[in-house]
Each structure stands twice: as C-alpha cells, then as structure tokens.
Amino acid sequence: MRNALDLAWPREGLIRVPYPVYSRADVYAEERARIFMGPVWNFLCLEAELPNPGDWRASFVGDVPVVVTRDLDGKLNAFENRCAHRGALLCLKRNGHGREISCVYHNWTYDLRGALTGVTFERGVNRKGGMPADFKRAEHDLRRLRVESFAGLVFGSFAAGMPPVEQYLGAEIAARVRRVLRKRVKVLGYSSQILPNNWKVYVENNKDSYHASLLHAFFTTFRMNRLSQQGGIIVDGSGGHHVSYSLRATDRASADYDAAALRAKREDYRLADPSMLDGVDEFGDGITLQILTVFPSCVVQQIQNSLALRQIVPRGTGETELLWTYIGYDDDDAAMLMRRQKQSNLVGPGGYISMEDGAVGGFIQRALPGAEEDASIVQMGGGDVASTDTRATETAVRGFWQVYRRLMGV
C-alpha cells in the first residue's frame, strides 16, 4: 500500500517490514511527530531520581530534550529543555537542584513548572534597549508535557487526552511492571552506549524472544536462558507492549540443548567467579528472566537479580543511544546489593549477555544499502499478534509494527 510518506508496505502486512523504514530521513522526522510527540506515554525517569522538591532530571522524548522536575510543592512536571529565547539547551547536566532553571546564553530564567520568570535587561540598560512594552512573559513559557507516575516510573506525553498510564499499559503488562517495581527503589548506577543502528532495530531486538539462546553464548553456555525452558510471551491488547519471561532451566530442557549443535553453546567457557550466577528467587515465582517493553522506547529488565531500566533514544536514522539505569530496593541488605552489582555485569555496553545486541543491530544497518525494494520476514510463530506460551515466536515484534503502522498511517 502507498501512503502520505510514499512508503510501500508489502501486502502481506505485519509479517513483512520494508527496509526503508530503518534508513529514510522523512520517515524518521514523521516518527518524531506522530509517535514520540504523539499519543503515547514516554518513559522519562524514576521518581527515585527526584526525591526532593527542587530536583530536576534531564531526559528525552524520542530525540527531543526535556526536563523533569519536582517543583517546590512536590509536584512532578516536565517541559522541553530548550530556552524560548534563542533555542539553547537549558539543563546541560544529567540532574540538578534549585528553585529555578537559568539559560547560560542570555540568562532567561524559568520556574520548575516551565514558566518564564525573568528576562535579563528586560527594561534595557539606562533606559535604552530592552524588550518592547507589549512583551508578555506568560506568552513564552516552555512547552509542557502531561506527566504521570506509575509504580515509581515517570511518564510524559505531548498529547492531550491520553488515558491513565495503567490503562495505556493494560492489566497484564501493568501487573508485570508492578512485579519488578514492587517497592521503593534506589539507583545503583548508570551507563550509556551508542548503537550503530536505527532505533527500531533495537526495539525489535528486545521483542524478539527467540534470538537470545542463539546469539548470546553466555545465556546458552551457562544455562541461563534457552528456548526449551518454560516461559512465554504476553502481548497487550494494542500489540505495542510485551513481556517475555522464562523460568529456571530443568534437567530435561538442558539435555535437549546440550544435544544440539548450536554456535552459541561453548563447552570451553568457564567463569573465574561462578558466584556471579548465584541468584535468589526474590519474587517467589521462579522467573529468572523477564524483559518488558512499553511502547515506544522503554524496557524494564529482570535478569536473575539484575534490575534495570533501558531508555531508547533515537539519534538519527542510523544511530541510537541506549541509556541504562541500574536499580535495587531501598531495603536491600549487603548480600543482595553485592549480588545485584555482580549481575549488572551481565548487561550494559560490555555486558556478558548484551554486548552482542550492541553489535548485531549494526550488522543489519550496514546491510541496508541496496535493499530499498526488499522487506524482512517476521513470520516465526505465524502471523498474528497474541500472547503465547512459547518464546519461539515473533508475535511481539509484529505487535510493535501493528501500533507503528497505525500511528504512522502506513
């Protein structure tokens, strides 16, 4: 079918994805307007990062810089991180604290709700110059977002009329978010990395549940995640959000994999410190891995006792920034804190598991030239978008494209 973007989508629908969506500049610009600045909830930060009135945190909606604040009344706010005067970035650091925010360029100042409160030399100098008499500060406040907190996660939206976040997620996904964010959290650290690929490639990677035990040698070698383990996929009603989960491997499941000739299974690999994999079932359900995505760009992760948030930030058609926030709970004892810190080495830019994800997207992006008339195949598990008790499926990937196509009109 053809559309306003003149983008040819294969008639097979969700089981085919045209390669130009990963490389065309006009598609990228429309994504900013229709998706990130459109009718979605974007993950911005954790409430735990704004514990006190006067705290602020720089974040992104797609590639649009925004600031999240807790104002002096304790209320959460978010607005664009761009001065109304000449467009300079306002908050240059990751976070800060104060009664107001000031632009370093010309010192225009704003309160913690984004209202313009001061214009330096507004009345000129020695009665010369300055702003015109009809200049009104209230007409130059920063563009605000709707803000809502759910389970300690702060979401923002530029769109009016958004449903509550819990309704946006759906009951099953909301319950799985609460499973991980079940009590007060504390931030253990941050990392970031630049991925040499389009943002949607990484989104697909998180929703693709069956690559993990094929691509990741660590997962398979140390029996952390294999497709033969009990688990499944939950997809919400819209298709945009998902959960992939698995339980601890059984002897039978391990035997099936041990008998298979898989590239990702390395008998010669050993850990100098096997205690890295000494996990405890802190949730009481036997689930050792849960990857949850919130459309369009948030990932909530539990791998054993490693807990993290991932924020996907587009940086053009062929580059993506991935921001990691590692968390624990306020009441973690010393042993649990050490366990989380050790297991944080499983993920991140150089993580034993996720370092392949940082490379494989680049393999896709580098292969796109010449593929303008071609499309990928997203047919594992059939062609529908539905929850399932197997992870040998691409149902969640198809769910992403279902919502994407609706919002983009393609």
Q: Domains of the chain by range and CATH? A: 42-149 (2.102.10.10), 171-408 (3.90.380.10)
Two tokens at 191? 């990392």
| E strand segments, 209-337 | 231-235, 242-247, 287-294, 298-303, 306-314, 320-329
If pLDDT is split at 50, 70 and 90, which confidence band does 317 have?
Answer: very high
DSSP 267: T
> Which one, of 244, 247, 171, lies nearest residue 209 by Cα?
244
pLDDT of residue 330: 97
Tokens describing residue 369? 């030239």
259 pLDDT above the threshold of 70: no
Residue 227 confidence (pLDDT) above 70 = no
pLDDT of residue 250: 56
Contact status, residue 230 vs residue 179, Cβ threshold 8 Å: no
Mean pLDDT, residues 234-247 taken together: 96
User: Are residues 369 and 322 in contact, defined by beta-carbon separation less than 8 angstroms?
Assistant: no
pLDDT at 264 over 60: no
Neighbours of 27 (CB within 10 A): 19
Please write the tens of the pLDDT for every residue from 65-117. 999 999 999 999 999 999 999 999 999 999 999 999 999 999 999 999 999 99
Range in 173-187, 216-230, 248-262 the model is least confident about: 248-262
Mean local confidence (pLDDT), 243-248: 91
Reported as a pLDDT band with limits 50, 70 and 90, residue 205 is: very high
> Which of 4 and 142 is assigned the larger pLDDT?
142
Kindly provide the residue ranges of all beta strands, DSSP E only, lying in 141-260, ordered along the sequence.
146-150, 153-157, 185-195, 231-235, 242-247
Task: Compute the average pLDDT of residues 155-168.
Answer: 97
Does residue 172 register a pLDDT over 90?
yes
Extended strands (E) in 264-391: 287-294, 298-303, 306-314, 320-329, 375-377
Mean pLDDT of the chain: 92
List, for residues 348-404, the tens digit of each pLDDT value: 898 888 888 888 999 999 999 999 999 999 999 999 999 999 998 999 999 999 999
Reported as a pLDDT band with limits 50, 70 and 90, residue 222 is confident
Residue 271, pLDDT score: 82
Provide the residue type at 47 as one letter.
E
Q: Are 294 and 169 in contact (CB under 8 A)?
A: yes
Query: Which residue bears the tokens 């803000």?
Result: 147
Q: Residue 231 corresponds to which tokens in the numbers above?
A: 């688990």
Yes or no: say if 133 and 113 are a contact pair by the CB < 8 Å rule: no
- The answer, yes or no, to whether residue 266 has pLDDT greater than 60, is no
Give the pLDDT score at 101: 98
Residue 253 has pLDDT above 70, yes or no: no
State pTM to two decimals: 0.93
- pLDDT-above-70 percentage for the chain: 93
Which helix (DSSP H) or strand (DSSP E) does residue 173 occupy?
helix 171-180
Measured over the CA atoms of residue 164, residue 170, residue 175 and residue 178, the dihedral's sign is: negative
pLDDT category of residue 188 using cuts at 50, 70 and 90: very high
pLDDT score, position 93: 96
